[in-house]
Amino acid sequence: MKKITVNDNILKWEENMNINVILQRMNYTFRMLVVKVDGKLVKKNDYNSTIVYPDSDVKVIHLISGG
């Protein structure tokens, strides 16, 4: 099985897997995120167009919200 790592969790890799697909698979619905693929920042506008390849290390940093 080809895989990627998302926040240290193993996730099955899929063809044409972009950031939005990863967020869906992980059920990451929070809106204030910082996404990095192999250490490189991905801006929100680029979530759809950024394709992730097998063995990528994806960090989805959830910021803090609320009082």
Residues at the site binding other proteins, with contacts judged by CB under 8 A = 7-8, 27-32, 34-35, 41, 43-44, 59-67
Q: How far is the CB of 14 from other proteins (least distance, A)?
A: 21
Q: How far is the CB of 66 from other proteins (least distance, A)?
A: 6
Rank residues 2 and 43 by Cβ distance to other proteins and give the closer one: 43
Rank residues 15 and 66 by Cβ distance to other proteins and give the closer one: 66
Question: Read out DSSP for 12-57?
Answer: E--TT-BHHHHHHHTT---S-EEEEETTEEE-GGGTTT-B--TT-E
Q: How far is the CB of 63 from other proteins (least distance, A)?
A: 6
Task: Specify the pairing of strand 3-6 against strand 57-62.
Answer: parallel
The amino acid occupying position 62 is: H
